[in-house]
Each structure stands twice: as C-alpha cells, then as structure tokens.
Amino acid sequence: MPGTDPLLLDEISLLLVWTAVAIYVLAFIAYAIDLARRSDLALKAKDEVVARELVTAGGGGVISAGGGSSASTPSAKPRYLWARLGTVLTALGFVFHLVATVLRGVAAERVPWSNMYEFALTGLLLIIAVYLAVLTKFDLRFLGALMTGLAVLLLGGATLAFHVEVVPLADPLKSVWLVVHVFVASLATALFALAFGLSVVQLIQTRRERKLAEAPVDAAPSRGFLRTVPNAEALESLAYRFAIVGFIFWTFTLIAGSIWANDAWGRFWGFDTKEVWTFVIWVLYAGYIHARATRGWRGTRSAWLSIIGFTAVLFNFTIVNVFFKGLHAYSGLTT
C-alpha cells in the first residue's frame, strides 16, 4: 500500500489481534455456559416431547394405519442459544483476526507467515476458519469452548511472546514455496487440531460410557453435557476422518519442503532439526492411521495417538523453533 506507514499498519493489526482475542474470550464464556446448561435443556426437551405425546393421545388424535398418531407432534430439539451466541462471537472474532492478518501482510508487503508471530497469526486463523466451515456440515459446537480456548491461549501467548516488527524476508524465504509450503502446513495443523479436540472429548465420553455400563440398571440417568454429545465411537470416526485429510496435506508439506530445500540449499534432505520433526509428525500420524485401519487400534489407544500427534505439532512450532538452531531458524526472535 503506497504511502502507508508499515509501522502504523502493524499497530492497527496488533490492536485488531487483541480485539479478536477479547471476542474469542467472550465466545469461550458463551460456549462454557452452553456446556453447563446442555444437560438440563436436553432433559427439558425430552419432557416436552413426552408431555406432547400424552396430550395428543388423550385428545383423541387421529391414528394412522400404522398405529401412530397423525397429529402434528414435531420433535422438540433443545435450542442451545448460548452455543449459537458462542458461534456468532467466534465468527465475529474471526473477522477481526482475518483483517489483522491481512494488514500484517500489507505492512510487510508479503504473505504474513515468515516468523513465529506470523505463523501463529495465520495458523490460528485457519484453525478457526476450519472449525466454522465444519459447523456447516457437522454440529460440533460442543468443541467450541476447546477451540476458542485454544485460540485465546495460543494467539494471546504468541502475540505477547513472539511479536516482532515487520522486517524484510530472509533470502531463502524469497520463493513461491513460502506461500504453498507454509499455507498447506497450517491447513494440516488446523485439521489436526479438530481431530485433537474430538479425541479429547472421545476419551471423556469413553470414561462416561464405561461407568454407565457398570452402573446398576435402575440407577439414575447421568447428567452433564456429555449426554448431548455423540458417542465415543462416532467421535473417534470423525476424528479419524479429519486426521486423514490433515495427513494428506502434511504429506504434501513434506514433499514441498524438500523441493524448496533443494532450490534454496541444493539438497532435498539434510537432517535439519525442523526437517526431522516434520518427518516425526508424519510418522506419528501415519502410524495412527495405519494402526487404526489394520491393527484394530481403536478406542482409547486411537485417541491417545491422535493427541500425541497434535502435541508433537505444537512442540515442533514452539520448542523446536525457539530452542533448536538450524537452517529453519526463522522465528524472528533475537537471542
């Protein structure tokens, strides 16, 4: 943007980042309230259905040939208003987050992912974007507190710890592969984050289902938001699907990184720390997918593999970038 001070644009971007963090906090609170109220809402909706059926039966409703009442008794699904509010706030926070990321790129006159602060800015933007996109097909609002909480902690922490002023690109980064390689890696991370969230809930749901199976037949029904969440098997299946798509993108990340390394340094692979950890993550998710598909590693073992894989992703982004030196030392932090 000719004539515009990059420092001013970066300051505006930073202000918008903190605005997005504040909105994500509000979204987290709304989602947390939703989780606290879910069980009561589900029980209330169930009671309304039962009461409506009794009124219909007592009122002489017309009985169909199949024996069922033809009276209009729509299923009373609970209306999770706090979850809707949380989703609206998340979308609003995403808009501020997106504008902040774009302004950072305009200020730098390049794509905004050349150092750790920008990696975090773009990566978390994609995590929220994928979460919101998935909501159009699957009702995963029970993950909202986890996703927005992750955004608050990582985006706020990265801004406090990793923010640096706009600087020119290092020579090895002046390549089209910067756009392709890092974007695809960030997209894969977003999908792994969703799989991670589902796996965490799966473990909690598995524990609940085990307790229910061991409980006496006449025991009171369990309460809590887990009553409104899909069963552990469904959660595991969905996490597995997200992990597979993320794994495909991560595989492309490895291939693109090797091609870029050959262009920049004249070799496809050099056992640089970042390269090794990228491959380690690939192996972990390959093992997770293979073990679940062919070895019957399902249930808690499958969930733990997914969680370990995403933990390795976070380790690769934080610890490896900050404390390990190598050709990929582009954190932007002074040592």
% of the chain with per-residue pLDDT over 70: 80
Tens digits of residue pLDDT in 200-239? 999 999 998 888 888 776 565 565 778 888 899 999 999 9
Structure tokens at 139: 């009702």
Kindly report which listed range (170-184, 232-246, 280-294) carries the lowest average pLDDT score.
170-184
Structure tokens at 15: 């202000």
Tens digits of residue pLDDT in 250-274? 999 999 888 887 887 777 777 788 8
Q: Distance between CA atoms of 134 and 265, rounded to whole angstroms?
A: 39
Q: Distance between CA atoms of 220 and 72, rounded to whole angstroms?
A: 31
Beta partners for residue 69, in sequence order: 63
Averaged over 297-304, what is the pLDDT? 87
Q: Structural domain boundaries of the chain?
A: 1-58+78-168, 170-335
Instruction: Transcribe 181-215 into DSSP letters.
Output: HHHHHHHHHHHHHHHHHHHHHHHHHHHHHHHHHHS
pTM exceeding 0.85 = no
Residue 297 is predicted with a pLDDT of 80
Tokens 């926070």 belong to: 93
SS3 state of residue 139: coil
Structure tokens at 167: 């600087």
Name the phi and psi angles at 90, rounded to 5: -65, -45
**pLDDT greater than 70 at residue 287:** yes
Name the phi and psi angles at 316, rounded to 5: -65, -40
Tokens 């505006």 belong to: 12
Beta partners for residue 63, in sequence order: 69
The secondary structure of 65-119, three-state, reads CCCCECCCCCCCCCCCHHHHHHHHHHHHHHHHHHHHHHHHHHHHCCCCCCCHHHH
Chain mean pLDDT for the chain: 82
**pLDDT greater than 70 at residue 85:** yes
Q: Distance between CA atoms of 54 and 212, rounded to whole angstroms?
A: 29
Tens digits of residue pLDDT in 29-75? 999 999 988 866 655 544 444 344 444 544 444 333 334 433 444 44
Tokens 């025991």 belong to: 219
Structure tokens at 250: 């991560």
Q: Cβ-count burial of 245 within 10 angstroms (0-12 exposed, 13-18 middle, 19+ buried)? A: middle
Q: Distance between CA atoms of 268 and 232, rounded to whole angstroms?
A: 42
For the chain, give me the number of helices (H) and strands (E)? Answer: 9, 0
Structure tokens at 257: 């990184």
- Among 100, 147, 181, 114, which Cα is nearest to 329's? 114
Structure tokens at 211: 């307790």
Q: Distance between CA atoms of 239 and 168, rounded to whole angstroms?
A: 39
Q: Distance between CA atoms of 212 and 200, rounded to whole angstroms?
A: 19
SS3 state of residue 147: helix
Neighbouring C-beta atoms of residue 269, cutoff 10 Å: 13
Residue 100 contacts residue 166 (beta carbons within 8 Å): no
**pLDDT greater than 80 at residue 310:** yes
Q: Distance between CA atoms of 94 and 151, rounded to whole angstroms?
A: 10
